[in-house]
Structure 1
Amino acid sequence: MKKRDLIIYRVVTALFSLMLLAGAITYFVQYEMVSKMFTSLGVPTEIIYPLAIVKILGVLAIWLIKNPVIKTLAYLGFALDLVFAIIAHLNAGDGGAIGPAIPLVLLIISYVFYRKKRQVYN
């Protein structure tokens, strides 16, 4: 893997991770606001805390776990979460679909460069 590609992978993955961690922390710190948003989207509020924990664990998996299956499952989980968030915002018509679309683009770029990196070392 070229040094440029490795830098792109790390920067994009870091930006993605920071966005998801900020969201997860918001779920804990501003529960009432998040709860109202989930309710307006038609999403059950019971998933707020588990979703926050899974997001934190997913970011840790992407950065720390060496097992490619677990890392790929973390990417898949984030992709599903973000796609469903986009669908929920589009369905609600609140104009908030861009919020999860940005990290989804970063996730795709990160995954493409992760696959490049993995091919070099295999």
Structure 2
Amino acid sequence: MLEFYGYWISTALLSVLYLASAYMFATKKQWVRKALTELGYSANNLVPFMIIVKVLGPVAILSRVSVPLSDLANAGIFFHLLLSGLAHIGVRKPVGALPAAIGLALLITSFMTQNDARDLPSPYIKAAAL
């Protein structure tokens, strides 16, 4: 039962983190472009793509239309959070990596407990536990 609540709480908080970030990317475009430029990224092409990805990732996980699609979204979010945190650390702004670290903790909790809360199990949980 603890795993059931852990899954839904961590997944909901991760989704809120991502949807709030997508909202910020859409409404504060100049600030986001400046922040991404400081990290060394070409913000003109990246911002519209990131808005779409930050909405579709949580939708794929929450809706779970397809288990492989949900697992792919989990993997994409994992690499995004990992690279985001490393980018902030790389430019010596470790405080900027804090949301990514929180997101990684939520994602790992969500991923490891998903089989306890969902009807269709993910085949990758057993492999990750080994």
With normalisation by structure 1, the TM-score equals: 0.90
CA distance in 1, matches of 2:78, 2:115: 15
The answer to whether residue 58 in structure 2 is matched with residue 51 in structure 1 is no
Tell me, what secondary structure is at the counterpart of 2:10? helix
Matches within 5 A, 1:1-80: 3-45=1-43, 46-80=45-79
- 5+ residue gaps, structure 1, are none
Say if 2:67 and 2:120, in contact at 8 Å, map to a contact too: no
CA distance in 2, matches of 1:12, 1:82: 15
With normalisation by structure 2, the TM-score equals: 0.85
Aligned counterpart, 1:108? 108
TM-fit CA distance, 1:6: 1.1
TM-fit CA distance, 1:100: 1.0
CA distance in 1, matches of 2:35, 2:58: 23
CA RMSD of aligned residues (A): 1.5
Provide Cα deviations, 1:63-112, integer angstroms capped at 9, x if missing partner: 11231100000000000100110111011111211121111110010000
Tell me, what secondary structure is at the counterpart of 2:49? helix
CA distance in 2, matches of 1:54, 1:121: 24
CA distance in 1, matches of 2:77, 2:120: 24
CA distance in 1, matches of 2:52, 2:65: 20
Runs of 4+ with deviation above 3 angstroms: 115-118
TM-fit CA distance, 1:55: 1.3
Q: Say which is worse superposed, 93-102 or 67-76, in terms of deviation.
A: 93-102
TM-fit CA distance, 1:44: 1.5
Matched-pair identity in %: 30
Aligned residues: 119
